[in-house]
């Protein structure tokens, strides 16, 4: 180990900063965050530094360095931006023994500033002894996505109860187990989800019982996106990796389920068109039973749970039965498909609105106002519309939409075998039939699709694209 890791307490401490450029400004931000009192010595300073000086959060002087500047200082940071000779300053500093950081120059530094992930009070520091700063940045980004945004709130919450737990659970082994169960358990999850009031009650009960009480499990209603696992949200991924059981649809793209924690149980409740493998009320009951058994249930749905996903019904059932439900939005198929073949769903030149409709409403029929179909500056995205494509096109034409309106059919959007077909409103039914579209596919109707053929289609198989 080439460096000894330390966290420095700088609250109210003077830190001398040589230089006032961009690099210096970034370090000053960090120093201010840590409550330090920077003294900036620079012939020129960025507006941000000047404003901070005007607010009185730091001292700024435009004069030469004076050895007395280091008196009582906790740290010297040097930005060697050519504004002033730094070697004499370093010579003085070395003689005093003050920690020295020369930005981007570990050889001249006695301390270096690590890359950090800040979840105050939790702070993760990463360093490479100056060997590979870009690698450090990459690692930092990875850790950033792994740690819940409210990790700091969780640490603070635990901190508030620390002495109460110590008083209630006197044996140190029992106390460690108490905290382990706490951090793995439902109270911590409630804090992370922002439900602190409930967590507070649970914690008081846990302390009275001398162990975290068993409370019912919870359900996360998660949108898994249109298929490409890279389109999962950070939050979805985090919850999937924490799940005890995942209850999932059939239409998830390959690779999505690979992101679920390996040990989690899997229940496939996929409803394939026309063949309802598990009824909605049965799905509701499965979710409820799993949550009541105290498990972390992930209900994984394609796209977004609240766009033609019956997520609302599941939510209502669970809430009515007192189960905590967290909702995580996903990239709905329309957005995934539009992005993957570069269709701007609105574009002030062609479309000022976009409407998502289903080809199969509650009673199996198309349920949409003719005026919406007729409006020329409205992009229409039809979900579950493949088998009724011709009928929808006829309805739109009958309502007054031009038969020449361009359309695109996007099958298995964002998946490796995505297929894009083009046509017009007049030919839509025939295109779908002739090309044997089996879905899942979307119909996109409107002038915004006209440009599709000229744009790169990363997943499309060109020989099968019909124009």
Compare residues 24 and 388 and give the one whose CB is closer to ligand SAH.
388
Where in 234-263 is the site for ligand SAH (CB under 6 A)? 251
Q: Is 281 one of the annotated active-site residues of the chain?
A: no
Surface-to-core class of residue 462, CB atoms within 10 Å of its CB (0-12 exposed, 13-18 middle, 19+ buried)? exposed
Where does this chain touch ligand SAH (CB under 6 A) — which range of 92-100, 106-114, 186-194, 330-338?
Answer: 330-338
CA angle 417, 403, 464 (to 5 degrees): 20
Single residue of 101, 332, 378, 379 touching ligand SAH by CB under 6 A: 332
Shortest Å distance, C-beta 223 to ligand SAH: 7
Buried b (16+ CB within 10 A) or exposed e, 59-94: bbeeeebeeebbeebbbbbbbbbebbebeebbebbe
Where does this chain touch ligand SAH (CB under 6 A) — which range of 101-109, 117-125, 130-138, 295-303?
Answer: 295-303
Axis crossing angle, helix 172-184 with helix 196-209, rounded to the nearest 10: 150
Q: Is 309 in the site for ligand SAH (CB under 6 A)?
A: yes
DSSP category for residue 26? H
Shortest Å distance, C-beta 355 to ligand SAH: 14
Q: Is 333 in the site for ligand SAH (CB under 6 A)?
A: yes
In 329-404, which ranges are E strands? 353-358, 378-383
Compare residues 318 and 442 and give the one whose CB is closer to ligand SAH.
442
- Binding string to ligand SAH for residues 348 to 387, with x set by CB under 6 A, is what? -----------------------------------xx---
Nearest to 246 by CA among 269, 225, 277, 278: 269
Q: Is 300 in the site for ligand SAH (CB under 6 A)?
A: no
Catalytic site residue from 242, 271, 285, 347: 271
For the stretch 279-283, contacts whose Cβ atoms lie closer than 8 Å and that sit 24 or more positions apart, written own/partner, are 280/310, 280/313, 283/247, 283/314
Q: Is 329 in the site for ligand SAH (CB under 6 A)?
A: no
Single residue of 27, 119, 238, 412 touching ligand SAH by CB under 6 A: 412
Q: Is 304 in the site for ligand SAH (CB under 6 A)?
A: yes
Shortest Å distance, C-beta 132 to ligand SAH: 38
Query: Which residues have a Cβ under 8 Å from the Cβ of 413 and sit 6 or more positions away?
Result: 226, 227, 333, 336, 337, 340, 341, 441, 442
How many beta carbons lie within 10 A of that of residue 241, not counting itself? 14
Return the structure tokens found at 222: 């998660």
Shortest Å distance, C-beta 247 to ligand SAH: 15
Single residue of 186, 226, 423, 446 touching ligand SAH by CB under 6 A: 226
Residues in the chain: 467
Q: Is 308 in the site for ligand SAH (CB under 6 A)?
A: yes
Shortest Å distance, C-beta 113 to ligand SAH: 44
Q: Is 296 in the site for ligand SAH (CB under 6 A)?
A: no
Distance in angstroms (rounded) separating the CA atoms of residues 112 and 101: 6
- Binding string to ligand SAH for residues 421 to 450, with x set by CB under 6 A, is what? ------------------xxxx--------
Return the structure tokens found at 109: 């530094």
Axis crossing angle, helix 280-292 with helix 311-320, rounded to the nearest 10: 40
Q: Which helix (H) or strand (E) holds 61?
A: strand 59-61
Q: Is 249 one of the annotated active-site residues of the chain?
A: yes
Q: How many residues bind ligand SAH (CB under 6 A)?
A: 24
Active centre residues (catalytic)? 249, 271
What residues line the site for ligand SAH (CB under 6 A)?
226-227, 251, 301-304, 307-309, 332-333, 337, 383-384, 410, 412-415, 439-442
């Amino acid at each position: 180990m080439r460096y000894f890791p330390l966290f420095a307490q700088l609250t109210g401490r003077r830190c001398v900063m040589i230089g006032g450029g961009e690099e210096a400004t970034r370090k000053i931000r960090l120093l201010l965050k840590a409550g330090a009192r920077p003294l900036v010595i620079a012939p020129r300073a960025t507006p941000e530094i000047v404003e901070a000086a005007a607010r009185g959060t730091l001292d700024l002087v435009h004069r030469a360095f004076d050895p007395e500047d280091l008196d009582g200082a906790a740290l010297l940071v040097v930005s060697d931006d050519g504004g002033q000779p730094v070697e004499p300053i370093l010579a003085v500093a070395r003689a005093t023994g003050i920690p020295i950081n020369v930005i981007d120059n570990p050889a001249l530094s006695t301390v270096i500033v690590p890359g950090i992930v800040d979840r105050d009070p939790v702070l993760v520091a990463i360093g490479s002894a100056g060997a590979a700063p870009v690698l450090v940045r990459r690692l930092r980004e990875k850790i950033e996505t792994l740690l819940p945004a409210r990790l700091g709130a969780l640490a603070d919450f635990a901190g508030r109860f620390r002495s109460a737990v110590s008083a209630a659970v006197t044996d140190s082994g029992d106390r460690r187990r108490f905290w382990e169960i706490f951090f793995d358990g439902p109270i911590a999850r409630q804090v992370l989800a922002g439900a602190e009031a409930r967590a507070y009650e649970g914690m008081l009960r846990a302390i009275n019982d001398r162990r975290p009480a068993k409370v019912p499990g919870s359900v996360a209603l998660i949108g898994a996106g249109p298929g490409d696992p890279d389109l999962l949200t950070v939050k979805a991924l985090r919850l999937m990796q924490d799940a005890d059981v995942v209850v999932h649809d059939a239409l998830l793209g390959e690779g999505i389920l690979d992101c679920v924690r390996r040990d989690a149980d899997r229940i496939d409740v996929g409803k394939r068109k026309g063949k309802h493998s598990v009824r909605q009320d049965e799905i509701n009951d499965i979710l409820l039973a799993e949550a009541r058994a105290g498990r972390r249930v992930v209900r994984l749905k394609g796209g977004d749970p609240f766009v033609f996903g019956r997520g609302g019904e599941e939510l209502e059932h669970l809430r009515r039965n007192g189960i905590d439900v967290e909702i995580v939005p996903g990239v709905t198929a329309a957005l995934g498909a539009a992005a993957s073949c570069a269709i701007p769903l609105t574009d002030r030149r062609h479309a000022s609105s976009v409407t998502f409709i289903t080809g199969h409403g509650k009673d199996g029929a198309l349920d949409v106002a003719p005026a919406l179909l007729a409006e020329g500056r409205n992009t229409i995205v039809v979900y579950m519309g493949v088998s009724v494509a011709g009928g929808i096109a006829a309805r739109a034409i009958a309502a007054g939409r031009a038969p020449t309106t361009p359309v695109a059919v996007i099958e298995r959007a964002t998946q490796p075998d995505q297929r894009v077909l083009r046509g017009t409103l007049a030919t839509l039914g025939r295109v779908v039939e002739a090309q044997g579209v089996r879905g899942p596919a979307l119909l996109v109707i409107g002038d915004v699709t006209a440009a599709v053929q000229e744009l790169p289609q990363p997943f499309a198989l060109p020989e099968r694209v019909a124009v």
